[in-house]
Amino acid sequence: MNSPEIQFKNVNMAYKGKSGEDIVALDNVSFDIQEGEFISLLGPSGCGKTTSLRIIGDLLQPTSGEVLVRGLSPREIRLQRKYGIVFQSPVLYDWRTVRRNICLPMEIMKFSKKERTARIDKMLELVGLQDFGQKYPYELSGGMQQRVGIARALALDPEILLMDEPFSALDEFTREKLNEDLLNIWSQTKKTVIFVTHNIPEAVFLSDRVVVLSPHPGRVSAIVDINLPRPRENSVRETSEFYDYIVKIRGSFEGV
């Protein structure tokens, strides 16, 4: 196996509470991620999964420990524009059309109009919204809005995609459809994906490996390889192997 693309080594993260006490979010957390992997950070509220994602993305600095991305610091990778980030809410601008929402990071980076147009067309096709480019966010369903968020995150062609519970606010039917669509996008783009979720079936369906985090304080309880065949369709959810992974992961949590 090649050297890991991302190394999260003995990371600790503590905050100061309102009374001045230390609140430990992460306690000696370590895991590796290979290039091109789809990894889920799974756990209940308060386990540090979003904190871990934000540290990888250089949105937070750990109290101690080391995080390396391709041998560099997260900050160096961020400055190289290697990250794309999809948040829980798509954070779209209501006064901008779908096309102009996707265009925003390219405008900031001063891409030429020709290149912006080409990339927007490509992203709309990738997320299946070719016919919705001139619509406004309020004209779209929640699932379609999140597709726009994914398209915008991929517009600068990042090599690492960070996703923080992007489907948690959606109904189960929409969520399962977007899970399947996300895997199709991943198979086409070959990005490394770090995906935060508290939904066990979602993590099993999407992932090559699941990093199980338990709270109080946040720590790694298990790292589970998901050896279900790819490409995956929603029918895999009905298999005994899929259910066995759910049971295994559910039993790996500590202190919940």
Q: Coil, strand or helix: which one is 114?
A: helix
How confident is the prediction along the chain (256 residues), in pLDDT tens digits per residue? 678 999 999 999 998 877 878 888 999 999 999 999 999 999 998 899 999 999 999 999 999 999 999 999 999 999 999 999 999 888 899 999 999 999 999 999 999 999 999 999 999 999 999 999 999 999 999 999 999 999 999 999 999 999 999 999 899 999 999 999 999 999 999 999 999 999 999 999 999 999 999 988 899 999 999 999 999 999 999 999 999 999 999 999 876 5
Neighbour-count burial of 127, counting CB atoms closer than 10 A to its CB (0-12 exposed, 13-18 middle, 19+ buried)? buried
Residue type for position 6: I
Quote the pLDDT of residue 218: 92
Regarding the domain with residue range 6-82+158-250, which homologous superfamily does it belong to in the CATH classification?
Answer: P-loop containing nucleotide triphosphate hydrolases (3.40.50.300)
Residue type for position 221: S
Q: Where are the domains of the chain?
A: 6-82+158-250, 93-157
Q: Judge if the upstream peptide bond of residue 231 is cis by omega within 30 degrees of 0.
A: yes
Quote the pLDDT of residue 1: 60
Neighbour-count burial of 120, counting CB atoms closer than 10 A to its CB (0-12 exposed, 13-18 middle, 19+ buried)? buried
Whether the CB-CB separation of 66 and 33 falls below 8 Å is answered with no
Quote the pLDDT of residue 197: 96
Please state, in angstroms and as integers, the Cα–Cα distance from residue 46 to each residue in 23, 72, 168, 232, 239, following that order.
11, 28, 16, 30, 31
Please state, in angstroms and as integers, the Cα–Cα distance from residue 138 to each residue in 65, 79, 124, 126, 174, following that order.
43, 33, 17, 21, 17
Quote the pLDDT of residue 253: 86
Quote the pLDDT of residue 255: 61
Cα–Cα distance for residue pair 246/202, rounded to 1 Å? 10
Quote the pLDDT of residue 22: 82
